[in-house]
């Protein structure tokens, strides 16, 4: 037990070190009766559609009062899902559309205020779309905290522990993700042993209830390490592992910029530049190209997804060694290209 706790604390210290930004969800900026801007609502499962709004309710301060005369609670704006429906397998979800997060810590205070069929509140994280996301939720009726995931719309078996979750009281729920590891805390204490899942390594965050549950959410925030795109991560790793690499570029297309252009480069100021004749030819003809100068050998190769479709171009600027031939230069980079392609399931992956 002690060893597991020490390992858990070590992971927490690492995650704190890598998180460099914070977003606070301030529901006081939204007029009561309205859904917060920047969010989108949907209903997973069946039943009545979700209806998320900011409402006013009494919220006790998370800080100790400075005097006995200080008010114990204030009437403050909080987030709530107000459309009740007792049907089972109804999961109203509200997701923040502004950013995707990889390594992050999501924390919120919540209160389960009502519900006859269910009394449940939780958070959604690493959401890909309406059918693919992780969930951690607390259940006041059954007294437990559990994790599960939606994969292509199908809900997995839950994983978790029996923990008293009182109705009508404010609690704190925290989810911390580092790589494929997931940590869950309830009221500041470890609620579920460390989880490991490779389904989603980044995504959006949000809130969820179930069935006819009435739950309030307040003081929500996410601390995170700014997310690198896969193309940026690939170039950074190439630069670290290939000492003879003078420069590297990955080209691709995006919805906002459909022309082939630099997605990432070892020389950071090149990002966004349009592809030139060589890169366009390599992309369209699906063939590698070699060129050289007095100081560098240049190999430009197509980049494929797992279905073999050309989704980009990777360009290597190599420091030559005596006697290096065109064939030798291409032979040097092809295994590297294969390693990159193993990480690309679709063109979208390069920019996620």
Q: Are residues 236 and 218 in the same domain?
A: no
| Reported confidence tier of residue 10, pLDDT bands at 50, 70, 90 | very low
| Reported confidence tier of residue 329, pLDDT bands at 50, 70, 90 | confident
Q: Are residues 168 and 291 in the same domain?
A: no
Q: Are residues 8 and 43 in the same domain?
A: yes
Phi, psi of 271, rounded to the nearest 5 degrees: -55, 135
Q: Are residues 193 and 207 in the same domain?
A: yes
Lowest mean pLDDT among 35-44, 127-136, 319-328: 319-328
- CATH, residue 309: 3.30.450.40
Q: What is the reported pLDDT for 149? A: 96
| Reported confidence tier of residue 167, pLDDT bands at 50, 70, 90 | very high
User: pLDDT tens digits, residue range 203-230?
Assistant: 999 999 999 999 999 999 999 988 788 8
Q: Are residues 77 and 23 in the same domain?
A: yes
Q: Are residues 84 and 111 in the same domain?
A: yes
Q: What is the reported pLDDT for 8? A: 35
Is residue 127 helix, strand or coil? strand
Residue 336 clears pLDDT 80, i.e. is over it: yes
Q: Are residues 108 and 249 in the same domain?
A: no
Residue 300 clears pLDDT 60, i.e. is over it: yes
Q: Could you say which of 224, 244, 261 is where a domain stops?
A: 224
- CATH, residue 64: 2.60.120.560
User: pLDDT tens digits, residue range 79-96?
Assistant: 999 999 999 999 999 999
Range(s) of the domain holding residue 268: 230-351
Q: Are residues 279 and 155 in the same domain?
A: no
Q: Are residues 242 and 196 in the same domain?
A: no
Q: Are residues 176 and 29 in the same domain?
A: yes
Phi, psi of 235, rounded to the nearest 5 degrees: -65, -40
131-165 burial code (b ≥16 CB/10 A, e <16): ebbbbbbbbbeeebbbbbbbeeeeeeeebbeebeb
Q: What is the reported pLDDT for 104? A: 95
Residue 108 clears pLDDT 90, i.e. is over it: yes
Q: What is the reported pLDDT for 72? A: 61
Q: Could you say which of 189, 224, 259 is where a domain stops?
A: 224
The structure's pTM equals 0.66
- Please say whether the beta carbons of 96 and 47 come within 8 A: no
Query: How far apart are the C-alpha atoms of 175 and 184, rounded to whole Å?
Result: 5
Q: Could you say which of 172, 196, 224 is where a domain stops?
A: 224
Q: Are residues 255 and 330 in the same domain?
A: yes
- Split into its structural domains, the chain has a count of 2
Q: Are residues 177 and 252 in the same domain?
A: no
């Amino acid at each position: 037990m002690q060893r597991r706790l020490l390992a858990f604390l070590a992971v927490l210290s690492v995650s704190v070190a890598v998180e460099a930004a914070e977003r606070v969800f301030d529901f006081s900026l939204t007029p009561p009766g309205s859904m917060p801007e920047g969010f989108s609502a949907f209903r997973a499962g069946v039943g009545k559609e979700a209806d998320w709004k900011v409402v006013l309710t009494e919220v006790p301060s998370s800080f100790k009062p400075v005097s006995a005369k200080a008010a114990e609670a204030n009437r403050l704006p909080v987030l709530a899902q107000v459309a009740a429906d007792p049907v089972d397998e109804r999961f109203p979800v509200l997701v923040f559309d502004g950013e995707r997060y990889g390594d992050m810590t999501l924390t919120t205070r919540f209160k389960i205020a009502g519900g006859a069929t269910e009394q449940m509140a939780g958070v959604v994280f690493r959401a890909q779309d309406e059918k693919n996301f992780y969930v951690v939720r607390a259940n006041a009726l059954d007294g437990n905290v559990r994790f599960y995931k939606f994969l292509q719309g199908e809900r997995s078996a839950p994983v978790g522990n029996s923990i008293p979750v009182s109705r009508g009281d404010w609690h704190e729920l925290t989810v911390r993700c580092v790589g494929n590891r997931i940590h869950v805390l309830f009221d500041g204490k470890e609620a579920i042993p460390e989880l490991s899942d490779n389904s989603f390594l980044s995504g959006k965050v949000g809130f969820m209830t179930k069935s006819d549950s009435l739950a309030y959410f307040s003081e929500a925030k996410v601390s995170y390490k700014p997310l690198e795109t896969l193309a940026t991560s690939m170039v950074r790793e190439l630069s670290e592992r290939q000492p003879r690499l003078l420069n590297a570029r990955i080209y691709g297309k995006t919805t906002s910029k459909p022309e082939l252009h630099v997605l990432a480069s070892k020389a950071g100021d090149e990002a966004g530049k349009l592809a030139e004749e060589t890169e366009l030819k390599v992309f369209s003809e699906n063939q590698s190209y070699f060129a050289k100068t007095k100081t560098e050998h240049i190999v430009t190769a197509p980049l494929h997804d797992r279905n073999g479709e050309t989704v980009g171009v990777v360009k290597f600027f190599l420091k030559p060694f005596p006697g290096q031939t065109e064939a030798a230069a291409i032979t040097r980079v092809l295994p590297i290209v294969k390693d990159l392609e193993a990480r690309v399931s679709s063109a979208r992956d390069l920019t996620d």
